[in-house]
Structure 1
Amino acid sequence: MKLVRYGEPGEEKPGLIDGDGTLRDLSAYVPDITGATLGDGALDALRALDTSALPTVAGTPRMGPCVGNIGKFLCIGLNYSDHAEEQGLAIPEHPILFFKANSAITGANDDIVMPRGSRRTDWEVELGVVIGKEGKYISEDTALEHVAGYCIVNDVSEREFQQKLSGQWTKGKSCDTYGPTGPWLVTRDEVGDPQSLAMSLDVNGTRMQTGSTATMIFTVAQIIAHLSELFTLYPGDVITTGTPPGVGDGMRPQQYLKVGDVVELEIEGLGKQRQVVRQDA
């Protein structure tokens, strides 16, 4: 299934994309797409619906973040071997973890709004993992059973804030609008193997990132197992799992986003994102 949340910010409604690509309303069956509706039983109940009988949604409404009321927004850094090589950095011994503020989360096609003082805003196409089953001390063998589905995340990053303002990476990762998420949450049964997905990102029509989740240093299962050793994972938590090579900070000369730029992302089977860059007032 491809689950969505559509409508204006703060007023999103639950929906799904049917096999013909039509947006259909789920409001009669669930109040929202949140951790409360992402367990296997709840998803099975949605699968059992006759989608052709669901109301169609007219027009092309805004796609909000594909998960509402996200619990923890967990981010893994430097998790692609070819990206580490690009940055000239050693392969980490354990997954590098940082948090992104939930206030950064936006819809897949909402604008990226650079904050005052931003000079080095960068792009990062990433596979997002949405937890559907609570767990702690999860084994690697059973880790994917805790996944509700997958989505695209653009881990937009202000490198000056990240690297020069002292403290942890969170400062450069948490600016408002720096976490476009969606457009769809695709359930794990439809995705299959999360370690074989092609991914790409373009800026103004020029390909910047081309990669595959096959080059992850730590797999989705390994990441879930590792994080669950540290704290409980709950339905509605989102883990974004790192980016392949091609970020602006790794280029020579370095290249960063500017007002008016158009960023387009795609991950195989998970849809597309498109953002326009603008400056905060």
Structure 2
Amino acid sequence: MKFATFTADGARRFGAVTDTGMVALNDAFPEWPTLFDAVRAGGLEALAEAAEGRQATHTDVTYEMVMPDARRILCVGVNFPDRNAEYKDGSDQPQYMSLFPRFASGFTGHDRPLIRPPESHKLDYEGEIAIVIGKAGRRIAEADAYDHIAALTICNEGTIRDWVRHAKFNVTQGKNWDRSGAIGPWLVPFTDPGQLDEARIVTRVNGEVRQDDVVSRMMFPIRKEIAYISTFMTLEPGDVIVTGTPTGSGARLDPPQFLAPGDVVEVEVAGIGTLRNTVEDEAQ
């Protein structure tokens, strides 16, 4: 079962994704106004039971960022060995992972355009797996880390490259332009640790493969990410961790190839799906 946030008939809803459309579930769970609330309540199994055997309620829908009400989104940077080498600074694998925050306003949904701002045309793509926390925890042991995952989704962690260089110690301003990235299309409940350990991330731009790597090659595996982050902050249900992108982003190509209006970016992860976005310039 897959769960999405979508707009239909002028209203934002959440529900189950079927082959014929969406099964809206808002009315069945008035205590959960959003999909974020359902995750925080540990309600994905209840949603699946409610959707089982039901016909689609909506066939003409617009996908939204899968959890637009998410309060905390943390991203892991430079998490594949070839990605570290792309920086050409001669550094070995770092002892600790790089982390930075992103905000829900920086993301759009599946089949929606990524927005290139007038201030910079260096919009880049980063295909990644995102995990959604379902069980709170502090100082979580690596061996127990997967017990705290509720669901998986896909992220295109779109970045305005020159703006990540505006300051000495942070990249926040280059990572949070409105609708510069996407998360979706849906949440897939997490049930198979082996599937996640061997998951492959493939990013295509206009049909050309730009990124292709497997989670098992991460310098900081997802178990370690959960353990490390939960050392300094209590992870709460609904928190999102964007786990790292492979080599092959546009900025590191020779010459660099940034996204332009009309481009189509697809991030595919077997077992989750494909997140597809076009690119548009921001309306003035």
> How do 1:123-162 and structure 2 match up within 5 A?
123-162=125-164
The DSSP-based 3-state class of the residue aligned with 1:7 is strand
- Structure 1 unmatched ranges of 5 or more: none
Q: Helix, strand or coil: the match of 1:70?
A: coil
Report what 2:191 is aligned to: 189
Question: How far does the alpha carbon of each residue in 1:58-109 deviate from its partner, in whole angstroms, 9 at most, with x for none?
Answer: 4241111222410111000001122222333532211110011221021122
2:232 maps to which of 219, 230, 233 = 230
Aligned CA distance change for structure 1 residues 216 and 22 (closer, same or farther; 3 Å): same
Query: Displacement, 1:111?
Result: 0.8
Aligned twin of 1:24: 23
Q: How many residues align?
A: 279
Letter paired with 2:71: G
Match of 1:119 among 121, 130, 133: 121
How many Å separate the matches in 1 of 2:38 and 2:278?
31
Residue in 2 aligned with 1:43? 44
**Residue in 1 that maps onto 2:76:** 76
Q: What is the TM-score normalised by the length of structure 2?
A: 0.90
The whole-number CA distance in structure 1 between the counterparts of 2:101 and 2:51 is 39
Structure 2 SS opposite 1:49: helix
Partner secondary structure for residue 67 of structure 1: coil
Q: Comparing both structures, which one devotes a greater share of its residues to strand?
A: 2
Moved more, 227-236 or 55-64: 55-64
Cα distance in 2 for residues equivalent to 1:9 and 1:119: 34
Distance 1:50 1:111, change over 3 A: closer
Number of the residue aligned with 1:272: 274
Q: What corresponds to 1:241 in structure 2?
A: 243
Does the CA-based 8 Å contact 2:22-2:59 persist in structure 1?
no
> Residue 14 in 1 paired to residue 25 in 2?
no
CA distance in 1, matches of 2:119, 2:9: 26
Deviation at 1:219, TM superposition (A): 1.2
Instruction: Give, as a single letter, the amino acid of the residue that structure 1 aligns with 2:146.
Output: L
CA distance in 1, matches of 2:42, 2:101: 29
Partners of 1:104 and 1:175 within 8 A in 2: yes
The answer to whether the Cα contact below 8 Å between 1:39 and 1:148 also exists between their aligned partners in 2 is no
Local SS of the residue matching 2:99: strand
1:8 Cα shift?
5.8
Segment of structure 1 superposing worse, 175-184 or 39-48: 39-48
Of residues 163, 170, 195 in structure 1, which corresponds to 2:165? 163
Identity of aligned residues (%): 31
**How far off its partner does 1:28 sit?**
3.1
Q: Which amino acid aligns with 1:13?
A: R
Instruction: For residue 183 of structure 1, give the secondary structure of its aligned residue in structure 2.
Output: strand
Measured after TM superposition, the shift of residue 55 of structure 1 is 3.9
Please tell me whether the aligned partners of residues 79 and 220 of structure 2 are also in contact (alpha carbons under 8 angstroms). Answer: yes
Tell whether the 8 Å contact from 2:111 to 2:275 is kept in structure 1 after alignment: yes
Instruction: Mark the runs of 5 or more structure 2 residues left unpaired by the alignment.
Output: none
Select 1:96's aligned residue among 92, 95, 98.
Answer: 98
Q: CA offsets per residue over residues 28-66 of structure 1, 9 Å max, x none?
A: 3334443432258523323433611x2413424111122
Return 228-237 or 57-66, whichever deviates more.
Answer: 57-66
Report if aligned partners of 1:5, 1:32 keep a CA contact under 8 Å in 2. Answer: no
Measured against aligned partners, the alpha-carbon deviations of 1:166-199 in whole angstroms (never above 9, x if no partner) come to 5511111100112311001001016753121111
Distance 1:107 1:252, change over 3 A: same
